[in-house]
Structure 1
Amino acid sequence: MVFLNMIPRTLSILSSSLVRSPGLIVVSNSIISRNHLNKFLYSTTPSIDKLKLQQEIVLDAAEEKQMAQEVIEQVNSQIERNEQGRLFAIIHILGRQTKVTPDDIIIVDSNSFAPLNGDKIKFEKVLLVGGADFTLVGRPLLTPGLVNVTGTIIEKDLSHTRTNFRKIPRKRHMRFRFFRTQLTMIRINEIEIKEKVAQRKDVEGGDRLIS
């Protein structure tokens, strides 16, 4: 009884809109049972666990630069000792991105792909290359000369017959069209990292490709 008499005085002193007590909760000068307000409180107030997950550790600029330099040195060490493992790459060819590894066979579906059987080609537009412990990502392409991805044309053939049907309603117009596209099969010969990472050149920027 004494506690209830003290609530209005406490509200007038603190001027708060929410005061919690062991058995009651006072909201806007009205007494409501705790059970009826639990759902509202816990639905609007984030939990401590969620707040912990939202925390972000901001590193000092010097520490971040030092960490980046250590990672670059480890990557360059693996490249120098040829310990990067089996490499994979993502190449850009005829408007499509394709993931490849050595000895893969990829099929290019296009009538305008010029190379003939037996021709060796080098893929200049490499978006990404990775090994067992690291991955190099371009923005959007890796620097030309950093990675060497080559392939050989092993076969050129036609696809299965495809059907195109066109109908114009109320015009008595119906047409069937049968066509086949040219398929080119390419075997990936080699994926190799030719240079160390983050090595400055005397002249930069003149060898960039536009995708």
Structure 2
Amino acid sequence: MTSFLKNILPKLNFISKHPNLAFSKTILPNITKLNYFSNLPQEDPLTPYEVIKDDKVKEAEDKIVKSEIVKKITEKVSNVREPIFAVVHVAGKQFKITSGDIIVVEGYWPPDAGDKLTLDKIMLVGGKEFSLIGKPLIQRDLVKIEATVIEKTLSHTKIHFRKKRRKQYMRINFYRIPQTMVLINNIKFVGELDNPPDVSEPKSRSM
């Protein structure tokens, strides 16, 4: 520390005696007016950083990229052996499923054993190299998921224990929750990508 002060004090005394000299040239010779506030190199203000492309050129490029992506996904979808998974919304919960899975829906649910279902609330569909994400649901009539109710049963016995200390209060309740076992038969694409159905106003309305 003493050696640093010995080196810096003579320079400060020299600057105080000669106020016309710039402080930056003696102590910080690398700092100039251009890069005083920033270490980044200053570009010529007349040359912009990015060349603004025409809107029509951007739209054409976006269409080409979009068509290539759709083409690759359709190739993967057409392959029957390609495993497909989906995320569906059933009875207030989300389930990640594949063909052959069995999901358990807890609580009261109207379908009976043997009923065949079609799960419509599909939030995500994907494979090994692609995924389609909905906002919040994916395109209507694009994917069809068929399922079958195989069993209606009750869960194992659960215990609900309540106690209030120093109040001589203690309760024990036993209960079982109804459960529905659903088998996922298959997940298949039935529509075309990037081709949603037309939405038209109904001709008649019922109140």
TM-score, structure 2 length as denominator?
A: 0.67
SS state at 2:185 partner: strand
Name the counterpart of 2:151. 155
Sort the Cα spacing of 1:202 and 1:157 in 2 relative to 1 into closer, same or farther, 3 A: closer
Q: 1:189 aligned to 2:185?
A: yes
Name the counterpart of 1:98. 95
Shift of 1:91: 0.6
Sort the Cα spacing of 1:18 and 1:185 in 2 relative to 1 into closer, same or farther, 3 A: farther
1:91–1:100 CA contact under 8 A, matched in 2:
yes
Q: Residues of 2 paired with 1:16 and 1:196: CA distance?
A: 72
Sort the Cα spacing of 1:174 and 1:199 in 2 relative to 1 into closer, same or farther, 3 A: same
Q: Residues of 2 paired with 1:94 and 1:16: CA distance?
A: 75
Q: 1:143 aligned to 2:139?
A: yes
Shift of 1:201: 3.0
**1:66 counterpart (50, 64, 67):** 64
Alignment of 1:1-211 (within 5 A): 12=22, 14=24, 18-19=28-29, 60=58, 62-79=60-77, 81-82=78-79, 85-110=82-107, 112-203=108-199
CA distances 1:2-37 after superposition (whole Å, capped 9, x unpaired): xx79x969971757985569xxxxxxxxxxxxxxxx
Q: Residues of 2 paired with 1:205 and 1:76: CA distance?
A: 30
- Structure with higher strand content: 1
Shift of 1:77: 4.0
Q: Which blocks of at least 5 consecutive residues in structure 2 are unaligned?
A: 1-6, 32-38, 40-52, 203-207
TM-score, structure 1 length as denominator?
A: 0.66
1:84–1:133 CA contact under 8 A, matched in 2:
no
Please provide the CA RMSD for this pair. Answer: 3.6
Sort the Cα spacing of 1:168 and 1:15 in 2 relative to 1 into closer, same or farther, 3 A: farther
Q: Residues of 1 paired with 2:183 and 2:152: CA distance?
A: 12
2:76–2:82 CA contact under 8 A, matched in 1:
no
CA distances 1:173-211 after superposition (whole Å, capped 9, x unpaired): 2110000111211110010111111114332699xxxxx
Q: Which blocks of at least 5 consecutive residues in structure 1 are unaligned?
A: 22-44, 46-58, 207-211
